[in-house]
Structure formats: structure tokens, C-alpha cells
Structure 1
Amino acid sequence: MARDLPPRARFEARHRPIASAIAALLLAAALTACAPETVPDPTSSPTVTATTAQPGPSSTPESPAEATLMPDGTAADNLPLFAAVTAAVWASEGRVTGRAYVDALAAAGFDKAAMQVTADQTTVGNPAESIQFAVRWGDECLVGQVGPATGNPVTVVVPVLAEGTCLVGQTRPIDW
């Protein structure tokens, strides 16, 4: 019966199982590459607190003057101030520059030495679609993301990465 098929169909019929096996192996390899290096303890999952700062008449984010830094508090305790500073900078002319967020957070009392920020521009000199900045707070991180691709600013509390940093990938030096 296979001989009754045209040459292309015979070839496909013979090699389909091999192609399927290769596709399955590639899928398994891709999924394995995305898997975490360590398996988290299922009895203790980290709590992620998220806020979205939406400046404008319909929102009521705390202003930096109303929110206060709590040096002995947790990252979650300091999230309202972090979010308020982020919203204030987003509403300013410096909204697309990472330095503006770092400077404003430092002025609000956050430790500049514990901060990270991504680049304002792409490697070809275009404005970045989003900028991320973070403050390490003990074993947690206050992380903000802003930019045209983000929409309204987003601020969250997340655990410190295994490397001891808050942001993945290359960040720019905060040397000012």
C-alpha cells in the first residue's frame, strides 16, 4: 500500500514518527530550561503584594508627604511610600529616566546603595519601553516598573533573587 503513495507522501509517512519524537524532545528541553533551579517548599509560598499607582483625578495614591519611611518595618510596610514616590515621578517631566526614580527614592529616605535600575535606552539608543528600579529591603525587594509599554506604574514586593539582587539581567551603575 505504501508503494501506491506518491514519493513525497511515502517520505512523510516514514519520517513522521521521527519528526514527532524530535519535536517532543525539543519541547521537553525548552520546558526544562524554563524550570526553576530549586523547588520551592510547597508549605511556604512567598507573599507578593502589588499596587498600581494611577495618578489622576480618579485615583487616591498616597503622596510622598503622607506616606512615611519605616526603617524598622518590612518591605510591605514601606510599599505605600515606594508607590507614592513612583507615582509622583511618573507624573513629572522625569517620568522616563531611571535616575529620577533613584533620586526621588533616595530623597524619601530609601538607601541608594541598596538600589538597582535598568537602562533608560536600548542598545541602539531608542527610549526603553519600560524601566525597572528596585530597593533591596532585607530578604525582599520593592520593585517598580514604568514606561510606555507598562501603562500605569506598577510597584510590588518580591523575594530577593538567589543571586542576592532584585532585578534580573544587567542593570546600570548608580554612580551619581
Structure 2
Amino acid sequence: MIALIIGCEIGFWVLLLIGLAVRYLTSARRLSNVLLASVPLVDVVLLAASVIDLRRGGEASLTHGLAAIYIGVSIAFGSQMIDWADQRFAHRFAGGPAPIRPPKAGREHAARERGQWLKHLLAYAVAAAVLGVFTLLVGDTDRTAPLWGVMAPWTLILAIDFVVSFSYTIMPRRS
């Protein structure tokens, strides 16, 4: 399962980079759109493989929990990662404008940090929903209990991220 998660992460970036290369280095716009549209299929592959493994009697483990985290993060932050790569690729290879840098101080920074935390919360919620689906599909809460082990440390991380992110609202960074 770990190899599949790593493979999906590599597949995400490979599909993204090939899609951007085709977009900016060739005139095959339609192919580029197909490649970039297929990036989310990596999540579908990971989700399907996890479900198949669990349904066939695979031992529910931390790796299935990590798969749920990967899917949650990919859904919450995937478009942001694609935009980030697209800006840099367009700038470097197609004469596009310089990438937009996030604000480092003031209200704009505080607002961005709150938004990033909300995306983090979305990733957490999606991962919890995926774990819930895994649990329902297996039908044995005792067998799927190890899946939920990833949520305790992530809950702590989410709480710390909340405190840090929202602290900028109370005490904004100065430029």
C-alpha cells in the first residue's frame, strides 16, 4: 500500500508536468487538457485500490489511513498545487507573468492563512469521510479500528494549525 501511495504521488506530479509541458511546449492544447483532467484519476486509483484491498480481506492498517489522508489533501489542495505549478511553468517556458507570491504581512496574509486552514479542515473532513466509507465497506469496526489511528495526531496538528493561522488575525505580521 505504501508503494501505491508513493506511486500515486509520483503519478500526480508526472501527469501534471507532462500536461503542462504539452500545454506550453507544443500546440496540442486538447491533449494537454486531457492530461491535466486526468490528474484527479490518481486519487480514484488510490481509493479503488484501497477499497479492493480491504474488501478482499487485507489487514486495515496505517497505510490505508495514509491513503485517506492523501485523498483528503489532494482534494483540498490539489487545485492550488496545480495552479502553483502552472504559474511557474508558464513563467519559465512560455513567457508568462512572474508567479504571484502570497502576501507575507498584514490583513491579506491573515486572510490567506485562514483560508489555508479552512482547506486543511476540508482535507481532514474528506479523509475522515473516506475512513468512514472504508469502515462501512469492510463492515467490521474492530478490523478497521487501526485506520482511525491517523486521525488523533492529525487532530492535534489541525488544532495547532488553527491557533497559528488565526493568530495572524489577532496579531497580524508587520511588513
TM-score (structure 1 length as normaliser): 0.25
Q: Which has the higher strand share?
A: 1
TM-score (structure 2 length as normaliser): 0.25
Question: Which structure is richer in relative contact order (CA contacts within 8 A, separation 6 or more)?
Answer: 2
Q: Which has the higher helix share?
A: 2
Compare CA radii of gyration and give the structure with the larger one: 1
